[in-house]
Amino acid sequence: MNIRRGLWRTWIFLSVLWIIGTLTLACFILPDSLAQRYQYVYMMKKEAGDPNKVDWTKDFYALMRSPSEEKLPTTFEILTYQYFANWDEDVKKGKMITVDFPDKSRLYLSAQMTKDDQNYVSKTSWDQRWERWGTEALRWGAGAVVPPFILLLLGSFMVWVGRGFARD
């Protein structure tokens, strides 16, 4: 009886099952996890001063930089579920607009932005989707590969320890 060969085959069998199960689960969960709601991180002008002491009644572009005119790098944050109702209410009031993308993600933008800025920001958001998708795929890939690798190491150590007790 060859324990080492049996453990090797068991590891291959379990690893294949684990990877298939993880990839199947990813196919069901990944599309929904990518369908996030995002907000654009606005860049304030230096002249606006301290963000805590700003007069928010001023014109939007008196406080904020124009992303399309200045070709600013765009940054987005995931909107947490606690704020969905408030932001959707702002959309109904006309304070915000939403841009819905084919991957079911949604971007919230200020209605005070010009059409050029809205188009620029939404285009860069859509262009950054590959980075977001790659990050999620990397997490799932690590979840599929790391546990079988750890199991292989544990099995190898068990065989090594077992050989220490074997008779010569």
Q: Is the dihedral of CA 11, 12, 14, 15 positive or negative?
A: positive
**In a domain? residue 67:** no
Q: What's the domain count of the chain?
A: 1
Domain annotation covers residue 92: no
pLDDT confidence tier of residue 1, bands split at 50, 70 and 90: low
The whole-number pLDDT of residue 31 equals: 76
Q: Is residue 156 part of a domain?
A: yes
Decide if 6 is inside a domain.
yes
Q: Tell me which residue range forms the domain holding 155.
A: 1-34+129-168
Digit-coded pLDDT (tens) for 105-152: 899 999 999 999 999 999 999 998 888 888 888 999 999 999 999 999
Beta bridge partners of 38: 78, 107
pLDDT digits (tens, 9 = 90+) for 40-91: 999 888 877 777 777 777 888 888 889 988 898 898 988 888 888 888 999 9
pTM here is 0.71
Is residue 64 domain-resident? no
- 102 within domain boundaries: no
Residue 22 in domain = yes
In eight-state DSSP terms, residue 142 is H
- Look at residue 26 and tell me if it is in a domain: yes
